[in-house]
């Protein structure tokens, strides 16, 4: 169910807050605006991640592409079908990354994710989620600076 329609006191604590991690002009929006509460786990479509219980952060050196489970997955299929009907195959292909979920974690500890992410602790999907981070404490800025120094 769309979180925005659920009474606030029934939502997980994180969904009762605002998006303070978004750009300033968007951080007044409630987190419940782009989330969907569901106990249906994502369905793994492709990937080298072996585990099925946590697809949001693959093990180092693994990657995964998943589709939302339950009613949200059916809604996403409907959206994909409508876009395909209206704009052809290209319209559906452009929308596919936004409706599905892709994640990769390198052996060096870099993690990147993009799409509709499932939160396994509070049982909700977030549309749209995207991030790049390092689990070893290296910031993106430091990594780019180091890469710049190596090239030049």
- Integer-rounded Cα radius of gyration of the chain: 17
Report the range of poorest mean pLDDT among 12-16, 35-39, 51-55.
Answer: 51-55
Which residues are CB-neighbours of 41 under 8 A, at least 6 positions away?
52, 53, 55, 69, 118
CA gap 15, 37 in Å, rounded: 10
Asked if residue 103 lies in contact with residue 111, where contact means CB atoms within 8 angstroms, the answer is yes
* Parent domain of 105: 38-68+100-151
Q: Is residue 82 part of a domain?
A: no
User: Considering only CA atoms, which of 77, 120, 70 is closest in space to residue 95?
Assistant: 77
pLDDT in tens, 98-144: 788 999 998 888 889 999 889 888 888 988 888 888 888 777 778 77
Asked if the structure places residue 11 within a domain, the reply is no
Instruction: Provide the pLDDT confidence category of residue 14 given band limits of 50, 70 and 90.
Output: confident
Q: Is 105 among the domain residues?
A: yes
What DSSP character marks residue 19? -
Omega cis (within 30) before 128: yes
For the segment 65-103, what is each residue's pLDDT rounded down to a tens digit? 998 888 778 888 888 888 877 887 777 777 777 788 999
Q: pLDDT at residue 6 above 80?
A: yes
Report if residue 29 sits inside a domain: no
Has residue 1 been placed in a domain?
Answer: no
Structural domains in the chain (count): 1
Residue 18 lies in a domain: no
Q: What residue has token string 């492709």?
A: 46
**Residue 56 domain-assigned (yes or no):** yes
pTM of the complete model = 0.76
Alpha carbon of 111 to those of 73, 79, 86, 128, 131: distances in Å?
24, 28, 35, 17, 8
> What is the C-alpha separation between 52 and 73, in angstroms, rounded?
17
pLDDT of 56 above 80: yes
Domain-embedded: residue 6: no
* Confidence band for 23, pLDDT divided at 50, 70 and 90: confident
CA–CA separation, 89 and 84 (whole Å): 5
């Amino acid at each position: 169910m769309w979180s925005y329609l659920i009474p606030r006191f029934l939502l997980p604590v994180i969904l009762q807050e605002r998006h303070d991690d978004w750009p300033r002009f968007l951080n007044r929006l409630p987190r419940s605006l782009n989330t969907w509460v569901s106990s249906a786990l994502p369905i793994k479509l492709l990937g080298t991640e072996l585990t099925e219980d946590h697809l949001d952060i693959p093990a180092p050196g693994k990657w995964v592409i998943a589709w939302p489970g339950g009613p949200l997955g059916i809604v996403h299929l409907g959206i994909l079908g409508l876009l395909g009907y209206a704009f052809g195959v290209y319209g559906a292909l452009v929308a596919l990354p936004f409706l599905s979920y892709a994640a990769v974690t390198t052996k060096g500890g870099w993690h990147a994710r993009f799409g509709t992410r499932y939160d396994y602790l509070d049982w909700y999907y977030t549309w749209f989620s995207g991030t790049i981070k390092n689990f070893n404490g290296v910031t993106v800025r430091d990594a780019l600076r180091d890469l710049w120094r190596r090239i030049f």
